[in-house]
Amino acid sequence: MDAPVAATESVSVGEKRKEREPWSYVIPKEENEVLAGWTSYHKFTQHGRPYTVFTAPGSNKKVKSKLEALRIATGTVVTNPTATAVGAYPSRRADALKAVKKGQSHIHGRTPVVSMDPRRAYSGPHIPRAGKMPAGDDLPNWTIERMAAADGKEFLLYRDPNGNAIGSRGSALRATGQLFISRTEEASLRYADKQRDDRNERWLHPVRVSQPCASKILESRSDHKRWFEPGEFEGILKERFLPTAMSKRCASVLANAENDVRARVVVVDMFAGCGGLSLGIRGSGYPFVFGIDENPTCRASYKENCCGTRSIEQRIRASDVENWHTAFQRARLVGPDACAELVLVAGCPCQPYSRQGQRAGMSDERDCLGVAIEMAKRLLPLVFVVENVVGMLDAEFGTTVKDALNGMSASGYTMHAGEHKCRSHGVPQTRERLLIVFTRNDRSDGTAYIPAGVKLCLPRSLGERSKHVFPEDAICEPGFWSGKCPLDLQMDLTAMKARERIPGDTSCMAIVSAQVCAPTLLTSSMRTGAYHRLVAVPSDKDPYKLLNRDMRMLHSRHGLLLQTFPPNFKLYGNLTMHATQIGNSVPPMFAYDLGEGLRVLIGSVTGEMCYDATALAKSLSVLKSAIAQLMSP
């Protein structure tokens, strides 16, 4: 039974190779008067995408676009697409549409309209919501009908005199011989058809789910107790992290500044990213949070969602430590006349220490642990927190990391570290984080300090329910977990091909189930071409009988909800930047409990804390302008 299958596959591969062989033809005068006699070479990229190059008669020089060939053939050198000089070839189809509306047969007196935009727009009467209308004088006995697609978008459907559905206006004109389609366009259409057919075929392929993973999904469905009502967890995220809610909470803290330590400290997030750590800490009631990040896209997301009180786009370098100290002095955040105590939080990039990466440690150019410790040694904060992956303290890195941490301890600080499971703090993921906390010792100079025996303990702000948050509580979209897969969540061809590369022993990779904690979100979890791309299993399907068409493809908004960002959290940048920001962020729910733990830790301080309400109110604005003046770009 195996031999015929192999023979069939070999034939199909051969046919595909044959279809991708390059070919050429001489452009006839009927197709294009300007380029008549030129040779058009039709080729394919290594990924099978078609492209065309042109050569003039008697020349071997290849021209990579039809527009450039038209310019060479007419002797024009105009490159401005909005140029109006005679002989200037436009690079936008909008110019061709304007010419059609004006009744012109040529653009700028030289370019034929049909060669730039042959698909003439419909200019007939309005098509009603129901019923049929004549298609126009150029399509006698044809009719037009308004239709609605599966996603709700409306389109016009052309039918021939026999009532057969043909498609768009371009298809109708092509069927009646009124629209000339070049061989290049035909090849592009054939390629699109192949892509669509390939996608439809892969939709029916089974999804490989390992037996332990499938058994776990079925077990969670049988004895699952839901601890949150639908939409309740989403309401908790709004109540804690929406800008208006955070402003009210911070205002109440400032009103009770004499008795609340949160109003007498300034939290500086040294590697803020899109703001997950700052958002959680500010949501727990800290009025003064300052974010620093070198990425302009991350800073735009940070600022848009009011994750902190102030923020700045700046890189932290070891050579600028003295300038940073000067800036903090001008803002009265360090030194004998400080107006508040300083809390430094460093969520250093985790790639150098992640067990998923190359693990170059402190020799990695992306590592920022060393510069963060140098900053803390110079600024001498009341509390210094390092957040990273649990692999940072692995023996694989030798003594380099431990020596750096011990250097901070030698500067008069007590260190204690602990591993924390995010799922125990209201995050529906298996993500684990490492917190290394340094507290200032008694310096015998009257400054406030924290006794050596006091450690940071993270409370569970949701109580017993903190460890019972699941993906179905975070993602509450209608039709997401059951029923027919929504159109915008269907797996595309690239994602299906990527998941086919997953080895068999890890076939449960990046699968999200409603009642099982999701895997740790990575920077590749939202990228289409990676097999770490998250896909969700519908609750009404047997995990042993899943097809590609049943799976839901998670997008940026779903990744944000799994990271416990509030609904409508806005990310800047393209989809790749979204994936990077989501994967590198700290879950705000985890950061919220961290803020509550810091409140208890700071509340145990011995000595008098620095506090000047008037200077503190403008300290972050002064700090931002001082950094802009002193730091190199």
557: number of Cβ within 10 Å: 17
DSSP 557-620: HHHHHHTTPPTT----S-HHHHHHHHHHSPPHHHHHHHHHHHHHHHHT-BSPPPB-HHHHHTHH
Number of domains in the chain: 3
**CA-based nearest residue to 512, from 526, 523, 501, 498:** 526
Give dist(CA 229, CA 250) in Å, integer.
28
* Number of residues assigned to the chain: 633
202 contact partners, CB below 8 Å, separation of at least 6? 493, 496, 497, 548
CATH number of the domain that residue 242 is part of: 3.40.50.150
**CA 404 to chain CA centroid, nearest Å:** 33
* 185 and 308 both lie in a single domain: no
Q: Residue 398's pLDDT is what? A: 67
Query: Residue 33 pLDDT more than 80?
Result: yes
Q: What are phi and psi of 220, to 5 degrees?
A: -65, -30
Q: Is residue 535 part of a domain?
A: no
Q: Is 513:215 a contact under the CB 8 Å cutoff?
A: no
* 298 and 439 both lie in a single domain: yes
Q: Residue 345's pLDDT is what? A: 96
Give dist(CA 469, CA 547) in Å, integer.
27
Q: Residue 444's pLDDT is what? A: 78
Give dist(CA 332, CA 336) in Å, integer.
9
156-187-53-92 Cα dihedral, nearest 10 degrees: 10
Q: What are phi and psi of 383, to 5 degrees?
A: -135, 140
Q: Residue 407's pLDDT is what? A: 87
Q: Which domain holds residue 148?
A: 132-175
Q: Distance between terminal CA atoms of the chain?
A: 67
Q: Is residue 490 part of a domain?
A: no
Q: Residue 90's pLDDT is what? A: 42
Give dist(CA 308, CA 624) in Å, integer.
13
Q: Residue 104's pLDDT is what? A: 64
pLDDT band at 107 (very low <50, low <70, confident <90, very high): low
497-499-500-501 Cα dihedral, nearest 10 degrees: 100
Q: Is 411:384 a contact under the CB 8 Å cutoff?
A: no
* 184 and 302 both lie in a single domain: no
Please state, for a pLDDT cut of 90, what percent of the chain lies above it.
37
pLDDT band at 120 (very low <50, low <70, confident <90, very high): very low
Q: Is 514:475 a contact under the CB 8 Å cutoff?
A: no
Q: Average pLDDT of 157-177?
A: 85
Q: Is residue 249 part of a domain?
A: yes
Burial 264-301 (b: 16+ CB within 10 A, else e): bbbbbbbbbbbbbbbbbbbbbbbbbbbbbbebebbbbb
413: number of Cβ within 10 Å: 23
Q: Is residue 548 part of a domain?
A: no
- H/E stretch holding 342 reads strand 341-346
Exposed/middle/buried for residue 507 (C-beta within 10 Å: 0-12, 13-18, 19+): middle
* 170 and 319 both lie in a single domain: no
* 368 and 251 both lie in a single domain: yes
Q: Average pLDDT of 22-28?
A: 83
Q: Average pLDDT of 85-105?
A: 52
Q: Residue 250's pLDDT is what? A: 94
More confident residue, 419 or 30: 419
Tokens of 132: 């049929």
- pLDDT tens digits for 189-208? 788 888 888 988 988 888 88
Give dist(CA 17, CA 21) in Å, integer.
7
Query: Residue 6 pLDDT more than 60?
Result: no
- H/E stretch holding 51 reads strand 50-55
44: number of Cβ within 10 Å: 15
Query: Residue 281 pLDDT more than 90?
Result: yes
Q: Average pLDDT of 248-270?
A: 93
Query: Residue 8 pLDDT more than 50?
Result: no
* 68 and 147 both lie in a single domain: no
- pLDDT tens digits for 404-456? 888 888 889 999 999 999 999 999 999 999 999 999 998 878 889 999 889 99
Q: Is residue 237 part of a domain?
A: yes
* 348 and 277 both lie in a single domain: yes
Give dist(CA 51, CA 593) in Å, integer.
55
Q: Residue 438's pLDDT is what? A: 94
* 169 and 76 both lie in a single domain: no
Q: Is residue 406 part of a domain?
A: yes
* 260 and 324 both lie in a single domain: yes
**CA-based nearest residue to 481, from 491, 471, 490:** 471
Q: Residue 450's pLDDT is what? A: 93
Q: What are phi and psi of 533, to 5 degrees?
A: -60, 125
Give dist(CA 238, CA 29) in Å, integer.
66
- How many CA atoms lie within 13 Å of 422's alpha carbon, on the beta-carbon side? 29
129-138, 375-384, 523-532: range with lowest mean pLDDT: 129-138
* 308 and 246 both lie in a single domain: yes
Query: What are the angstrom distances between the C-alpha of 57 and each of 43, 54, 144, 295, 604?
Result: 19, 10, 44, 51, 86
Please state, for a pLDDT cut of 70, what percent of the chain lies above it.
84
User: Which of 102-106, 528-532, 552-556 shows the highest mean pLDDT?
Assistant: 552-556
- pLDDT tens digits for 304-345? 999 999 999 999 988 889 999 999 999 999 988 899 999 999
Give dist(CA 254, CA 334) in Å, integer.
21
Give dist(CA 503, CA 124) in Å, integer.
56
Q: Is residue 185 part of a domain?
A: yes
Q: Is 334:615 a contact under the CB 8 Å cutoff?
A: no
Helix axis angle for 232-241 and 588-603, nearest 10°, is 50
Please name the residue ranges forming H helices in 261-381. 276-283, 296-304, 321-330, 369-379
* 606 and 459 both lie in a single domain: yes
Q: Residue 47's pLDDT is what? A: 66
pLDDT band at 112 (very low <50, low <70, confident <90, very high): low
Query: Residue 576 pLDDT more than 60?
Result: yes
Strands (E), 74-231: 106-107, 111-112, 132-134, 143-148, 154-159, 165-167
Give dist(CA 579, CA 34) in Å, integer.
47
Query: Residue 221 pLDDT more than 80?
Result: yes
Q: Is residue 447 part of a domain?
A: yes
Q: Is 524:581 a contact under the CB 8 Å cutoff?
A: no
Give dist(CA 32, CA 30) in Å, integer.
6
Q: Residue 18's pLDDT is what? A: 46
Q: Residue 13's pLDDT is what? A: 40
pLDDT band at 586 (very low <50, low <70, confident <90, very high): very high
* 189 and 139 both lie in a single domain: no
